[in-house]
Structure 1
Amino acid sequence: MTAGLVAVILAQAPVLQAPEPANAAVPEVNLGSMRARLDPNAVRTTNASGAVVNNCLYTRTDGPWVSSANWSVQAHGTPVSLGPNEVCAGNIGQSRIHLTPGAGVRTALGAPFVVAAMSHRNNPTYSSVTSGSAFLSGTAQLKVPGVNAEFEIDWKLQETQDNLMGPACPTDPTNTGKCPDELTFPAGVEQSFMVGPVPYLFRVVHSQIVSTGPLTGGYDNGGAPGPPDYGVAEGVACPAAPTGRGILSSVTREDRVTKICIYAEIAQDRTLKVTKNTTSPAGGLTFPFTSSSDRADSPWATQSSFSLGAGLSRGPQTAQAGETVTIQEGTPPGDWELEDISCVDGVGAAVADVEYDVVARSVVLREIPIAQSVTELPITCTFTNALAPQGRWTLAKTAAIDGVPGGDEAMPGDTIAYRVTATGIEGTVTGATITDDLANVLTHAAFQSATLQVNGGGASAVPLVGTTLTAGPFALGAGQTAVLEYRVIVDDDAWLSALHNVARAVGSVAPDRCAAGDPPAAECQTSHRTPSRFLVQKLGYGINGEEPFPVAVDGALFDVRADDNGAPGAPIDAQPVATGAVGRFDVAGIWPGTYWLTELKAPTGHALLAEPVRFTVAADGTLTVHGDHPNVEVDGSGFELGVVDTAAYVLPETGGPGTWLFVAGGLATLATALLAAILRRRRT
C-alpha cells in the first residue's frame, strides 16, 4: 500500500444535511459515529528511504475496530516471542501507538473537524544500535458512516537512538536528555469520493499535541501486558477546531505519553481561472489585478497580486465550495475601460451568487456553490476590456446683468453673473479643469463668489486666487455638464470702462473650443462696457451788464435728446442733474452717439439759448459740438460743456429804440471770447 490516503466508497448514499439556517451553497456533513483501527497488516520497519530493514524493531498489534473514547493499540520493540539472538540490547520494553476516532459531529463543508487522536506511549526501545534512526510506518483506518466511506491515513514514526544529544539528535538539536521520537503524517494526502455524481475530498489538514503525561501500564520488559491504563494524558479532549493549519508532525518525548489530535476536512475543491479579454488588440499592455479570500490558506489570498495581458489567464487554482473569493481589476492602462465581467462553470452555465460591479471593476464569488458534477467543477471569470471612446467636450460662457441674460451694457453698481458650462459630447474626459482670469474685470468690479456644480451634484465653492478662478479637476461623460458660476458688482465710479475676460479649459483631451493656448472663441469670452458722463457748466452775465464777465449762475434747466436724422428726437434716460455746485450739471450714463442739448429754462434775467445744440459723445467719452454755437464750447478735458446765457436788458420806457441793440450785439461777440477764456481758466 503506497503512502497517502485511500477511500473505499460504501453502497449507501451519504447524508449531506443543510445547515441551519439553510444555505445550499455550504451544506453540513453529518459524520455519524466514526470507528477506527490501526491496520495490523500495514505495520513494518523501514529505513528513512522506505526500504525494509531489520534493526531490532518488531511489532505487535491489537487491531479491532473501536469507537470514540476507545483505543486501538499497536506495540513495537522487543516482543516476548523473539529468541535470544533477536533481542536488541538496551531495550527496556515496548513502545505503543494508540488510535481513537473522533466523536460523530456535524461539520460544515470545508471546516476542519477532529477525525482521530493518536498517542505515543514512548518507552525507550532503541538505545544501543548505532545506525541512526529507525522508521516505523503504519496506517490508521477510519470508517465515516455519515459519508459511507472508509479512509486510511498513513503515519510514520521515527525511532531515534535514545543516547543522542544536542545537534546529534535529529528530532531536537537542543535536547540534553534522551533524543525524542517524531510522529509524522504525510503532507498533502487526500482522497476523492463521490456522492452520486457530486465529487468531494477527504483531506488531513493539521495535527497538534494537546497533552503529555507519565507512562503508566503498557508492555513491560518481560513482554507481559500491563494494566489497561491509557494514561492521564490520553484523557485530555481535543479542541473542536485546530489552533493552526498544515502542521503534520509532532515530537514525542521519551518516557512520556504524548497525545496528538488529527484534523481533517471534507470539501469540494473547485478551480478558478481569471482570464483577460480585450475587444481589440492591446499590444503588450498588462492589466493589474488583486484577489482576496475568506480562507487564509487559499491561493487567492496568499498570491493576491497579479497582472494579465490580453488573452492570458491566472489559474486554474483551487477555490473551495463555500469559499468567498473577490477579484478586483486595478486601473486599466491607457484608454482601456472595463466593459464586462462574467463567471461560468465547466459546462458554460453562469455561477450562482456572484456579485458583479463593472464600475468598481470587481467580482465577488460569494460562498462558491457546490458543483453538481465533475464537469461543473472549473470556474472561469472573464474580464473584458474595450478601448474607451475618445472623449469630446466643449465649453461655453454667458453672462447676465442684474438677472437679464445677454447684453453688453452695464451700469456702475450692476451685478454681472457669469456662467461657464462644460458639456461632455462623447466618451469620458478626466482631469477636466476650467480657468477664468478676471484681471480685466476686477479693475472695474468687485468679486463676490464662485461655485462649481458637476453632473447635477452639490455646488462647491471655488476660491479666487489672485485674479484667477480654477474649477476642477472633474470627470465628464457624454451628456454630462459642469457649471462654473460667479458674480461681480461693477464699481460705482466705473464710468467708460471695459470688462472683458476669457474662459479656458484643459483635460485628458482638449475641448472642442476654449482650449488653453488656443485663440479665444466668441463663445468663450464676455465683454461689457459702461457709459460715459460729462458736465454742463451754466454761465451768464449780470443784468444790464452789471457783470462784465460771465459767472456761474443757477436757475437753468436743460434737456438732452437723441439725434433723429439730424433733428432732436426723444429725451434719453441720462438727463442733466444739478450737482449742488452753482450752475453745474452732471449727465451720467450716456453712451457714445449724437445728441441735442436744449436749454428749457434760463436763469432769471438771462436769455435762453437761441436753439438746441447738436453734440457728439465719442467712444472715449469726449464731446464735440457741431454747428455755429458761439455761446457753447467744450473745455480742454473734452468732458465739459460750458453754456453762456446773455443778460436780458430792460427796454427804455419811451423814445426811440435806444442803444440796447448795439450794446447786445457787442456783448454777444464779447461773450464768445470771454467763454473760451473762462473755460480755459477753469481748466488751469
Structure 2
Amino acid sequence: MKITPKRRSFSLWATALIAAFGMATVLPGGTPARAEGELPRIQIGEVGMAMSNPSVSEERNSQTFHDFDCIYGGIGTDTKSLSSVYNGAFDDWSASNESWINLKPGQKTNKWSYLTHGQPVYGEYQHQCPPRMYVENQSAIGVQPNNPGSVTLGETFLLGKIRHRNNDLWVSEGPTGQDILWFHGDFQINIAGKTDSFPWDQWETYNTCAQKVDPDQRHCSDDILQIKKNHSEQIFLDQNGVRYFLNIWGFVPALADGSCPADPGLTRPRTKFITTESRDSNACIYASFNQQRSIRLAKTVTHGPGINEQNEIPAFNLSAEAENTVFDSYKTWQLRPQSYGPAGTVTSPNNDRFTYTVGMGESYATEDKLPTSRFGSWQLTDITCTDRDGDNVPIPQEAKDLAARRLDLNALGAAKTGAEQELTCTFHNHLAAPPKLAEGTLKIQKTLNDENQGLKNPNQEFTVNYRCETTATPGLVMPQPAVPLSGSVKITTQKPALIEHLPAGAKCSFNESEPRAQWLKDENYHWEAPQITPQQVQVAAGKTVAITVNNRIRYEKPIPPSFPIQIQKLGSQGPLKGAQFTIHADQNGKIGEPLKAQLQVQANGATFISEPLQSEQHYWLKETQAPFGHRLLAQAVRFEVTQSGIKIDAPKPAPAAGNTLQIDSFQSVKVNPKNPFQIQVTDSEIGELPKAGALGNWPYAMAALGLALSALIVQKNQKKTQPKNHQ
C-alpha cells in the first residue's frame, strides 16, 4: 500500500496498465487432473519454500532496482521479524540470501520466509528505512510450505501458504523521479531435491484512488500480486517411466481461522493474490503433479470415383492449442500431401511438437476450414493416433468431433507408457465427386406504366442484375452452370430473359441498373424506383420461376410562366382617375374569390399593374369604384392570361369580336392593341361638357328641362279646379 505526503490520487498512467495487466491475469483453465483416472499416491519427500530475488520498479516492465525502497529479506512469524539476512541497499542478491523453510512429511511451522520493502507510515521507523527487515510495519510478502507426505498424481494438494502484511507506506521515488509502485520477487520451491523458481509481480496501488484497476478487486486500493509462471519443467515425479510435472493452480483465500479448505474448488488456475490495505491477508497455494504429452499432426487424403489422380491436392491448415499455462499456447502447421493414399501422408516435423499438460485446462488439435475444390467436396472422415513406437493409441469416441474437425486431447487421458507421451495424430480427408444437382430456370420480364407516352423507344432495353447463392456442402464448389450464379441480362417489354440451368434451391435476388433520363422525351418525364416482384426467389427443380420488373414513368406538367397585367380606366376624353378594380380567381367558369395580390396604381392614377399572374389560366376583372360622374362596369369580365397576352372571353352570342367586349353603348372592355397585357375599360361620362365649336348635349338638356316645367304647371292647375269636400 502506498501513501504519498500529498495523498496523491490514482495516477492516470496506471489506467493505461489496466488492459495490459488484465490480459496477463486471465489464466486458462479446465478441470483438475482427476480426469486422468485412478492414479497412485506417491511419496514426495521433503518440501521447502523460500522468497528470492527481490527488486522494485517504477513501472511493471521498467528497469528494476534492489537498492531503492528499503528492501530486506529474512524469517519471521505472522507479525514479527525473527532474522534479517539481506539488505538491498548494500548487497546484490545471491542464493545465500534465501531464507528457506523446509518441512519433512508431517512437520508444521509458524514461520514464514519474507521479503519486505518501503518506508513505514507508522511504528518505530516512520518515513525512513528501518535498519533491518521490519515485518511489523513494512509491506511484507511471505511464503510457508506444507508437506502432505504423499500426493495422488493428477490431483490437487496443498503446497503451502502466502501472506501479505499490507502495511501503509510512504511513496519512494525511483532513479527517474517517478513513484515506485512495483515489487518483484520469486517463490523458490523444492520438492524431493528438485528446485524451481516461480517469479511474481506485485502492484502496490495508491491508498487514494478513483477506480479499480482489476475486476477482482473489492476496493481500488487493493494490492495485486500475480504469479508469472505456473508450470515447472524442473520439479517432477516419475511413475513407470512417465514423468509428472509440478503445476501451481494458484491462490485460494484462507478460512477465517487461517486454515485452508480441503477442496479448493478450482476449475482453472488462479494466479492473482489480491489483498486489502492496512490488513494481513493469507491465501492457500494449491498444486498438482500432471503428465505432459506432446503431439505432432499428419495429413492423409483419399478420393472417390470420378476423381482424377492427377488433380492437384491443396494444402490443409491444422492447429493445436492448450489453455493450461499462464499464457495460452498455440501452434499451427500447413500440410500438403504429395499424392492420394497412405504413401502420400505428410507429417509435421518431429522437432516441432506441441506440448500440453494432461488434465489441466482444455487442449485441442483442430483442422481449420476445409479447402474448396472444383472437382468435388472435401470431408474429414477420421482421426487416428500412434505413439512414439508407431503403435496405435485408442481414441475414445467422445474425443473425436468430425463435424467440428477437432480432437479433444484432454479426453485422451494420461499416457500409460513413456512411448504414449509422444503422439502422432493423423487427420484423414476424402475428396468426393459432387452429386448430380437438380436445375431450374428464372424468367425475368419487364412491364411499364407510361400513361403519358414518355418513353422515346418502346423497344428500349433495360438491364437487370441477379445474384444467386447456394447452401452447398462445406468444401464443395458448385459445378459451373450454363450461366454464372451472378450476372446481368437485357430485357424489353416484349422480350423477357431466361436464365437456365441454375442449381435447384439457390436463392436469387435482383436489382435494376438505373434507367437513363435521355430515354425519355423531355425533362418533364421522370423514372420512379422499379418495383421487383418478388424481390427474392428460390430456384425450383424442373420449374420456371417468373420475376417481374415494373417501371413507372411519371409526367410532371410544366408550370407556365407568370406575367403582370395592366388595367386602364378610360373616358371619352382619355384616362380617368378614381377607379378601383379587383381581380378574381376563376371557378369552373364562374367568378371566385378575389386574389390577395394588390393592384398598384401608376402615377397617372388611371393605370393599375398587378402582381405576376400565372399564364394559361382564366381570371375575372371587377370594377369596385367608378370615377365621379361615371358608372361601375356593368358586369365582371372573364379573361385569360396567355404567354402572348390577354384574351377577353365574349358571352354567347358575342356582342363583339376579337379582344373587345362591348357591354352597352357607353361601356366596353378591350385589350390594348399596342400592349397585349393591358385591359382598357372605357366608360362615357354622364353630362360631359361640350367640346369647343359644338352644341354637345345642351339642346337635349334644355328640351328635357322644358318638359319638366310644363308638367309642373299642368299639375298645379289641376289642383285649383278640383271641388272642395263638404262636411
TM-score of Structure 1 vs Structure 2, range by shorter chain: 0.3 to 0.5
Structure in which a larger fraction of residues adopt strand? 1
Taking structure 2 as the reference length, what is the TM-score of the superposition?
0.37
Task: Return the structure number with greater relative CO, CA threshold 8 A, min gap 6.
Answer: 2
